Amino acid sequence: MKRNKILLLFVVSFFLSSCIVSTAAKIVTTTAKIGYSAVKGTVKGVSWAVKKAEGKINEDRLDGVWKVVGVYNGSYEQFSKDTEPDNTFTSSCTDGFEVIEFKANREKFKPVNCQSTDEDWIKYKFKFGKNPQTKEKENYIKYNSSNYISIIDVTNTTMVLEGNLMQNYALSGGKLYLFEKVK
């Protein structure tokens, strides 16, 4: 009886350790593939590891409040070729920081604003397909019938959007925005 328990314990521990090693190997391989294909750069202390999403992004990932931490003057294409991208972002908010807020279940967002100011909600449509503005197949948001925001990628902690989101940067060519999740 005792021998059977020891044998069973040995077999179970061997099985679990082989599963753990196998899973760890898959994680390392996947991470290496992602790291290889991502465009990387440090923008004045803000680390950008930007890779355009392949396929449709789950719209629920947009949900929440996101603060602006980086602005690149140019498109994603220009950024991907730039060896030393420059961050032109400086906060103009006296209290807090610039944020954008999404409520994916209601398909509405508040445009970039200072935390202390209250903006009106804007209805949008999330789509995956050929963006009429960029002519590329991608994830994008259409709002006010003719405005588009390209969603480059969204993770649990960061989001990269391309479009004219902030007027003071749009005039100087700012099109690529890096956001960090606040809540």
Q: Please count the helices (runs of H) and the strands (runs of E) in the chain.
A: 3, 10
- Is 138 buried (19+), middle (13-18) or exposed (0-12) by CB count in 10 A? buried
Look at residue 17 in the predicted model and tell me its pLDDT: 64
Closest CA to 36 of 15, 18, 51: 51
Indicate if 55 and 124 belong to the same structural domain: yes
CA–CA separation, 161 vs 4, rounded Å? Answer: 59
CA–CA separation, 148 vs 135, rounded Å? Answer: 12
Give me the domain span that covers residue 29: 2-37
CA–CA separation, 133 vs 125, rounded Å? Answer: 15
- Looking at residue 68, which CATH number applies to its domain? 2.40.128
Look at residue 153 in the predicted model and tell me its pLDDT: 86
Look at residue 82 in the predicted model and tell me its pLDDT: 77
Indicate if 29 and 49 belong to the same structural domain: no
Tens-binned pLDDT, residue by residue, of the chain (183 aa): 666 777 666 666 655 565 554 554 455 444 434 443 444 444 444 456 567 788 888 888 899 999 888 888 888 888 888 777 766 677 777 777 888 899 988 999 888 888 767 788 999 999 999 988 888 899 999 998 888 889 888 888 888 898 888 766 665 555 888 888 887
Look at residue 83 in the predicted model and tell me its pLDDT: 75
Indicate if 147 and 68 belong to the same structural domain: yes
Indicate if 103 and 148 belong to the same structural domain: yes
Indicate if 122 and 169 belong to the same structural domain: yes
Indicate if 6 and 64 belong to the same structural domain: no
Indicate if 16 and 94 belong to the same structural domain: no
CA–CA separation, 91 vs 26, rounded Å? Answer: 41
Q: Is 80 left (phi over 0), alpha (psi -120 to 50) or beta?
A: alpha
Look at residue 106 in the predicted model and tell me its pLDDT: 92
In this structure, are residues 69 and 89 in contact, taking their beta carbons and an 8 Å threshold?
yes
C-alpha 92: how far from its chain's center?
Answer: 23
Indicate if 163 and 86 belong to the same structural domain: yes
Would you state the torsion angle of the CA atoms of residues 61, 83, 135, 179, taken in this order, to the nearest 10 degrees?
20
**Tokens in use for 100?**
């954008």
Indicate if 145 and 89 belong to the same structural domain: yes
Indicate if 17 and 46 belong to the same structural domain: no
Indicate if 87 and 175 belong to the same structural domain: yes
Domain count, the chain: 2
Indicate if 32 and 45 belong to the same structural domain: no
The sign of the CA dihedral 91, 99, 113, 56 is positive
